[in-house]
């Protein structure tokens, strides 16, 4: 196989393989942007998001400070580190259709895995993250390559080398 072709394949594997490696390394840590925001965007934000006209129960879940405030009932939607005291956890696990979130008439349901993610996220402190589009970019540290130094032509080769070592 020509060297250029091999490098293209290595680059493609690196670009598609690194996120999977990163996810596998941190799968116990629930991340807001990766794990929770997509679920909330699909199932919660329509009624508990930025649109004040559509907002129900004056509850906003897209802003952490708002999600930690007690509701009129006195229940606190999210109590970081305490899923058993967090109303959203009670609501997503209840069997009572009057209290269930998302409500049955929304025709949105959470899978058991999604419910578990919410519970783990709250237990881990319910850390919110800024939307990725507003987060400052950071330059990753270039890994030390195990390839022959003569084969390193560009810093990307170091990343490819690292990804290749992880798969073997």
The per-residue pLDDT for range 4-59, each reduced to its tens digit, is 545 555 545 445 544 443 443 346 899 999 999 999 999 999 999 999 999 999 99
pLDDT tens for each residue of 121-143: 999 999 999 988 898 998 888 88
End-to-end CA distance of the chain: 19
Residue 160 and residue 122 share a domain: no
Report field, pTM of the whole predicted structure over 0.85: no
**Contact (CB, 8 A) for 40 and 114:** no
Highest mean pLDDT, choosing among 72-76, 113-117, 164-168: 113-117
Q: Are residues 101 and 56 both part of a single domain?
A: yes
- Rama region for 57: left / alpha / beta (φ>0; ψ in -120 to 50; rest): left
- Residue 90 has a pLDDT of 98
In terms of residue numbers, what domain contains 22? 3-26+138-167
Which of 71-75, 92-96, 141-145, 153-157 shows the highest mean pLDDT? 92-96
Specify if 68 maps to a domain: yes
The answer to whether residue 118 sits within a structural domain is yes
For residues 42 and 46, give the distance between their C-alpha atoms in angstroms, rounded to a whole number. Answer: 8
Could you tell me if 123 and 144 lie in one domain?
Answer: no
The Cα-based distances of 112 to 11, 35, 115, 119 in angstroms read: 36, 14, 5, 11
Band (150; pLDDT cuts 50, 70, 90): confident
Phi and psi angles of residue 143, each rounded to the nearest 5 degrees, phi first: -70, 155
Domain co-membership, 15 together with 71:
no
| The three-state (H, E, C) secondary structure of 101-124, written as one string | CCCHHHCCCCCHHHHHHHHHHHHC
């Amino acid at each position: 196989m020509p060297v250029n072709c091999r490098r293209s394949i290595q680059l493609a594997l690196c670009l598609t393989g690194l996120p999977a490696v990163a996810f596998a390394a941190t799968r116990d840590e629930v991340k807001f942007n990766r794990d929770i925001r997509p679920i909330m965007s699909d199932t919660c934000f329509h009624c508990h998001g930025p649109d004040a006209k559509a907002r129900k129960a004056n509850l906003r879940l897209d802003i952490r400070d708002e999600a930690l405030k007690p509701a009129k009932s006195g229940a606190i939607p999210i109590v970081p580190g305490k899923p058993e005291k967090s109303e959203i956890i009670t609501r997503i696990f209840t069997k009572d259709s009057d209290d269930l979130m998302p409500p049955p008439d929304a025709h949105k349901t959470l899978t058991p895995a999604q419910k578990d993610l919410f519970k783990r996220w709250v237990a881990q402190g319910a850390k919110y993250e800024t939307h990725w589009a507003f987060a400052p970019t950071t330059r990753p540290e270039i890994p030390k390559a195990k390839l022959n130094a003569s084969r390193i032509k560009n810093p990307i080769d170091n990343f490819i080398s690292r990804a290749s070592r992880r798969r073997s």
